[in-house]
Amino acid sequence: MNKISYEQLGHVNHGWLEARHHFSFGSYQDPNRLGFGNLVVINDDLIAAKKGFATHGHDNMEIITYVRQGAISHEDSLGNKGKTRAGDVQVMSAGSGVRHSEFNDEDETTSLYQIWIKPNKLNVQPRWDAKEFPKNYVDDHLDLLVGNNENAPLFIHADATIHAGKVHANKTLTHRLERSGYLLASSGSFSVNGVKLSKGDALEIIDIKDLEINSTEDSELLVIDV
């Protein structure tokens, strides 16, 4: 397992947008941080109130947005409009091509993860979807949010799943990976198979399937299985 601390992440500050990059993106380029399997982008973004990303295009990428604080408003060339709030998730299959905008229309800063995963099929019909998820704490497992089959609340055209959950302090739960895992510590502090993580940290997990998660304080985490 390879821990990536928050301080190691790429950092840019555009005033309205402050971003921490887990992998090379935009002006942050590191030849040693080009992705993790089919996972090519994780941006830990802070978007100022009443600011956002103007209309721009994407193709052949599965784009997942996990909102941690505030909300983000989406509009695209397919006619979709929606607002995704803290704890909820939106997905966009860019496929053969789509244009969209993402704005923080709120009166507070919005915090979110923007996650890009390479698709397993090119030039699919573009699509967008979003789901509200329960905000209660989990007891013994992480909830499935995103995946490639009918069991997943949100579908993506990629060989990947995303599980997440809020965990109370002094709890232990287990999680089993299908492939390799990239784990994000959204808040709090906890250990994974003895490796300690705090807010903003990440963990690359290869050749280990069974994870034991022990929380030392109220925490929130995501596991991207790719």
pLDDT (tens digit per residue) in 80-139: 999 999 999 999 999 999 999 999 999 999 999 999 999 999 999 999 999 999 889 998
Do residue 13 and residue 105 come from a single domain? yes
Question: What span, in angstroms and rounded, lies between the C-alpha atoms of 41 and 226?
Answer: 13
Residue 162 belongs to what domain range?
A: 143-225
Which residue, of 131, 157, 172, is where some domain finishes?
Answer: 131
Average pLDDT over residues 17-45: 95
pLDDT computed for residue 109 by the predictor? 98
Q: Is residue 2 part of a domain?
A: no
Question: What span, in angstroms and rounded, lies between the C-alpha atoms of 168 and 52?
Answer: 33
The H helix count followed by the E strand count for the chain is 0, 22
Reported as half-sphere exposure (CB side, CA atoms, 13 A), residue 114 has a value of 19
H-helix segments, the chain: none
Domain tally for the chain? 2
pTM for the whole thing?
Answer: 0.94
- Band (pLDDT 50/70/90 cuts) for residue 175 is very high
Q: Is residue 136 part of a domain?
A: no
Question: What span, in angstroms and rounded, lies between the C-alpha atoms of 4 and 31?
Answer: 15
**Rg over CA atoms, the chain:** 17
Do residue 160 and residue 113 come from a single domain? no
Average pLDDT over residues 163-183: 97
Distance of CA 9 to the CA centre of its chain: 15
Reported as half-sphere exposure (CB side, CA atoms, 13 A), residue 99 has a value of 4
Do residue 218 and residue 148 come from a single domain? yes
Do residue 57 and residue 22 come from a single domain? yes
Q: Is residue 138 part of a domain?
A: no
pLDDT computed for residue 127 by the predictor? 96
Nearest to 223 by CA among 147, 150, 155, 151: 147
Do residue 86 and residue 29 come from a single domain? yes
